[in-house]
Structure formats: C-alpha cells, structure tokens
Amino acid sequence: MTGSPGTRTVTAGSMTTKGAKAAYGLAGLAGLLALMEAVPRLGIVDERFLPPASEILGALAAELRTAALWTALGETLGGWALGLAIAFVAAVLAGVVIDLVPGLRAASHSTIEFLRPIPSVALIPLATLLFGASLGSTLLLVVYAAFWQVLIQVMYGVADVDTVADDTARSYGLSRWSRIRNVVWPTALPYIMTGLRLAASVAFILAITAELVVGSPGLGLEIQVAQSSGAVATMYGLVVLAGLIGIAVNLAVRVLERRVLAWHPSVRGEVAS
Amino acid sequence: MTVTERPGLGLRLLRLLGLPILLILAWWAFSVTSESFYVPTPPRVVQAFAETWFSPRLIDDALPSVARLLAGYALATVLGVGLGVPIGLSVRLRAAAEPVLEFFRAIPPPVLVPLIMLLAGIDNGMKILVIVSGCVWPILLNTVEGVRALDQVLSDTCRMYGVRGRSRLRHLVLRGASPQIMAGLRQALSVGIILMVISEMFASSSGLGFTIVLFQRGFAIPEMWSGILLLGLLGFGLSVIFRWMERRVLSWHWSHRA
C-alpha cells in the first residue's frame, strides 16, 4: 500500500509479525479463488458466462504457452513504455520551460486547467482516423493521458523550491543551469516521481483501451478477439493476466522511485523503521 | 507567491484568455492553410456543435450518458465507502482483503467491459455496472487507507468520552477519512468518464460515445470534433463541480491546516 510509514507504529496491534499478515493475505486470495470456483459450479451463475477459477487459470496457462500471447504482451508493454517515455520527457521539459519563462505560468494556467480534465478516450475517434489500428493510436492516447499527470507534478515541484536555498545558490554565484541542476531538480524530483507513478498506471489503462476499442495489436485486442469468438475462459484468463501486469507495473515504478529517491528523507525513514 | 497584491483586471483577462486565443488562432491558421481533410476550421466546428448538440440529440444521447455516469458513480461511492470503513477498521479483515483489492484495482477497468457485457447483456444496467466496477476500487482503497490512518489521539479521545456507534462513525471515522475519500472520489471520477465513453463505444445504439464513433465512421469530421469538444467540456465541467464540492466538504480540513 501507499502508506506513510512512521505513523503506523501504533496501529500494528495484534498483527505483529509480517508472517501473520501474509497468511491473512493468502487466505483472502484463497477465499476469492474458492468463491470463483464455487459460484459457477453450484450454478449460481451460468458456467458459460463465468467459468470456474480452475478453468480460467487453465486457459491462462494454455495461452502462456503460445507465441502469439507473448508477441501481444510485448506490443502492449512496448506501446506503454514508449508512450510513457514521450509523455514524461515532454512534460518535464514543458514544466521547466513554464517555470523559466516569466509570466508563462500565470498565462498557461487556464489552458492547462481546461485541457487536463478532457478524458483522453474522447480522442479515440481522432486516433482511429489518423492512425487506424496501429501503434500510433495507442501512443496518441497514452501520451495525452500521461502527459498531464507528470506536468502537474512537475509544476508543483518546481514551485516548491526553498527560497533560502535558491537565494544561497544565487549569492554563491551558481549559474542558472547549475541552479536548476542542484537546487530545482532535487526539490522537484519527489514530485516528478509521484507524477511518473500516476502516469505509469494511467498509461497502462490507456494502452489496453486503445487495443480494445481501436484494435491496435496487443493484449487488449487478444481480449477482444477472445470475447467475440466465444472463448470465455480464455477471455477471463487474459483479464487476470492484465491485472497481474498492472500489479507488476505498479511495483516496478515503486522500486524505481525508491532507488531514485534513496537519499530523500521519506524513503530513508521507511528503510530505517 | 507571498505577494498578495492583485493584478489589474486587464492583466488577469490577458492571463486567462491570452494563450487559449493564441492557440485557437494557430489552429485556425493551420486548418485554413493545410489541405488536411481531418482538420476543420474553428467556425465550422462551432457551427457543427450548435447543429449537432442543440437538438433532440442532447436529450436522447448526452443526458442518458451523464445520468448513467452519475448513477454508477453514486453506487460506487456507497459501495466503496460502505465496504471500506469496516475493512479499514479491522486489522485482520484488512490483511485478508488487501491483496485481493490490490489485484482488482490493478486490472485496467476497460477490460471489464467485454466481461460485464457477457454477464449482464448490453442494456443500461450493464453500462452502469461497468462504471461501478471501475469506480469502486479507488474509492474503496482510499477509504481503507483513510480509516486506517485515523489520528490515534482523536480515536482515544473519542473512546474516553464514550463517543461510539453512529456518532463515532460520523464524527470520527468518516470525518477523519474524508480527505482520503475525496482523493479516491476524484480518481474515480476520471475513471468513470472513461468507462462511460467506452461502454457506449462497445455496444450501444445511443449515448455520447456511440454518437461520436458514428460520426467518425461516417467521416462527419466537424461533427466528430464537436463531439470531442462536448466530451472535453463535460470533463471540465464535472471537474469544476467536483472541486467546488471538495472545497465545501473539506473546508474544515484546509482551515485546520492553514
């Protein structure tokens, strides 16, 4: 979980060991599996619409042995990573430029506040027209969605620079570039990493969406194909896979955040406790 | 940011409208000079907007979409907060539920559309269910997190003064968790709009998403742009309303921190 460590010393209560917590977690997962197995088997929901958990996992295992699935997976993750990278670089540059040019922050506020809440799925028809069912569509949606997440955080971050630190750097005669490198960047970095974390999961959602709706190649398209060909267990299996990848994406960004911010008090405190 | 002196009206107007006007002019110049079929001029889009949406379409397509969004969002809020409070309060329940919840949250909500279509058909109920199924996780997880992180001193004080039951829930638990719950609600709102559009693009004969895709397939380009514009305005309008509500609900919180 996200969590703000340091405050959770008291709440542990009876849950003292990590082992007990893991045991409960496993029990919860086992309960979910048992429920998913029992509901269709007992006929509460028709098996044609909700196959038992064992069948879903079996179908997933069968899919994992096909090359097509791995290709699709590669395509999804490729589109995700490329889109995220483009959005990240563009947003950081835009954020820094907005900070550097005097007056631009005030002038761009209304535009950003208007463009930001536009749901990127509104661009689906445009993507379809411009790029069709290809990587371009995925990239358009992913970049639009992820860009704002990072930009907002960058703008908060660069605004948070300690004036004393900045003035000190100034009076020691640090050049503009050196000030950005040594004062602005470390201040903004935690914000930027938060933006990256938010953007990473949004980008994954939009990558899958583009494949599902526009038909760009990837995991989403596989789900769509499984659905329209009536391979119900396979479809559920792929949905489970999408969830697992979503978890992996979250974990990967969190690990990155921890490494990049290893010097930051919030992370150092976490390790110490 | 410490300077509180307000700039003059002219400057404020310039800041508010300057860049948007420049951007629209740039678009105009681009659409006039380029031969691209996909980029209509701004007046053409505005005209299409008026023709398309100030018509029965507004009542037949746009309103039902928004109604489904609000219904799904409200249901997800009730479910998310209703389940989140007990899970957040019980250490054991939370430990058992957390991995499961994390898994469900990690599933990209749009993949649930084909799945729920299969289970619930393609009527109104399915679309609302899709919206609920996507919106509920951020609300639920944030409620759990908010309730877990309740101020220990406040909680002890409540116990000392014998505040329990319903009033404890209202004044301590929900109040204390409300900043986190609002954060969850904000995430859920954008997920909800996405799902509203996608569920209609998939299988539908009415609604905003359906209409926009219809225009795109018929190469009615200015109309398609007008639909994109309408979705943008909807997203913007909902976020403004949300911010206003958030400010009201959390006014105690901000004044407390300031």
Which residue range forms the structural domain that includes residue B68? 44-257
Examine residue B112 and state whether it is found in any structural domain, yes or no: yes
Question: Which pair of structure tokens corresponds to residue B21?
Answer: 């006007």
Reported as a single tens digit per residue, the pLDDT across B35-48 is 777 778 888 888 88
A14 closest CB neighbour out of B91, B96, B149: B91
Examine residue B6 and state whether it is found in any structural domain, yes or no: no
| pLDDT at position A269 | 61
A119 closest CB neighbour out of B104, B194, B213: B194
Q: Residue A209 CA to chain centroid, in angstroms?
A: 14
With a CB cutoff of 8 Å and minimum separation 6, the contacts of A201 are: A246, A249, A250, A253, B106
- Do residue B95 and residue A15 have CB atoms under 8 angstroms apart? yes
- Do residue A11 and residue B148 have CB atoms under 8 angstroms apart? yes
Size of interface A-B (CB pairs under 8 A): 185
Examine residue B216 and state whether it is found in any structural domain, yes or no: yes
Q: Where are the domains of chain A?
A: 53-265
Examine residue B8 and state whether it is found in any structural domain, yes or no: no
| pLDDT at position A15 | 52
Closest residue by Cα to residue A194 from A162, A152, A158: A152
Q: What is the pLDDT confidence band of residue B1, given thresholds at 50, 70 and 90?
A: very low
**Looking at the domain A53-265, which fold is it?**
MetI-like fold (1.10.3720)
Give me the residues of A, 140-179, that contact B with CB < 8 A. 159
Distance CA A56, CA A37 (A): 10
Examine residue B51 and state whether it is found in any structural domain, yes or no: yes
- Do residue B100 and residue A123 have CB atoms under 8 angstroms apart? no
Which residues of chain B neighbour A159 with C-beta distances below 8 Å? 1
Spell out the long-range contacts of A178-185 with Cβ–Cβ below 8 A and sequence spacing 24 or more. Answer: A180/A96, A184/A96, A184/A99, A184/A158
B115 closest CB neighbour out of A239, A247, A249: A239
Stretch among A128-137, B55-64, B242-251 having the lowest mean pLDDT: B55-64
Closest residue by Cα to residue B145 from B73, B97, B75, B78: B97
- Do residue B106 and residue A244 have CB atoms under 8 angstroms apart? yes
Q: What is the mean pLDDT of chain B?
A: 83
pLDDT tens digits in sequence order for chain A, 273 residues long: 444 444 444 444 445 577 888 888 888 888 888 888 888 888 777 777 788 888 888 888 888 888 888 998 999 999 999 999 999 999 999 988 888 787 888 888 888 888 888 888 888 888 888 888 888 889 999 999 999 989 988 988 888 888 888 889 889 988 888 888 888 888 888 889 888 988 998 899 999 988 888 888 888 888 888 888 888 888 899 999 999 999 998 899 889 988 888 887 766 665 554
Could you count the other beta carbons within 10 Å of the beta carbon of residue A170?
A: 12
Examine residue B35 and state whether it is found in any structural domain, yes or no: no
- Do residue B212 and residue A122 have CB atoms under 8 angstroms apart? yes
Examine residue B11 and state whether it is found in any structural domain, yes or no: no
Residue B150's alpha-carbon distances to A46, A265, B79, B169, B248, in angstroms, are 43, 23, 20, 12, 21
Distance CA B153, CA A228 (A): 56
Reported as a single tens digit per residue, the pLDDT across A27-50 is 888 888 888 888 888 877 777 778
**Chain B contact for A273, CB < 8 A?**
no
Distance CA A153, CA A194 (A): 7
ipTM of predicted complex:
0.80
Residue B82's alpha-carbon distances to A196, B79, B177, in angstroms, are 31, 5, 13
Residue B186 has pLDDT above 80, yes or no: yes
Reported as a single tens digit per residue, the pLDDT across B115-163 is 888 777 777 788 898 899 989 999 999 999 888 888 888 888 888 888 8
Instruction: Name which of A10, A29, A121 to mutate to probe chain B: the one with the most chain B Cβ atoms within 10 A of its Cβ.
Output: A121
Q: Tell me B230's DSSP state.
A: H
A264/chain B closest Cα distance in angstroms:
22
**Chain B contact for A7, CB < 8 A?**
yes
- What is the domain count for chain B? 1
**Chain B contact for A101, CB < 8 A?**
no
Distance CA B39, CA A129 (A): 11
Yes or no: say if A25 and B98 are a contact pair by the CB < 8 Å rule: yes
B100 closest CB neighbour out of A4, A32, A232: A32
Closest residue of chain A to B98, computed from CA coordinates: A25
Which residues of chain A neighbour B97 with C-beta distances below 8 Å? 28
Closest residue of chain A to B229, computed from CA coordinates: A122
Reported as a single tens digit per residue, the pLDDT across B198-211 is 888 876 777 888 88
Q: Strand, coil or helix: what is B5? A: coil
CATH number at residue B160: 1.10.3720.10
Closest residue by Cα to residue A239 from B73, B120, B76, B103: B103
Spell out the long-range contacts of B85-90 with Cβ–Cβ below 8 A and sequence spacing 24 or more. Answer: B85/B143, B85/B147, B85/B169, B85/B173, B85/B174, B85/B177, B87/B140, B87/B144, B87/B147, B88/B143, B88/B144, B88/B145, B88/B146, B88/B147, B88/B148, B88/B177, B89/B147, B89/B173
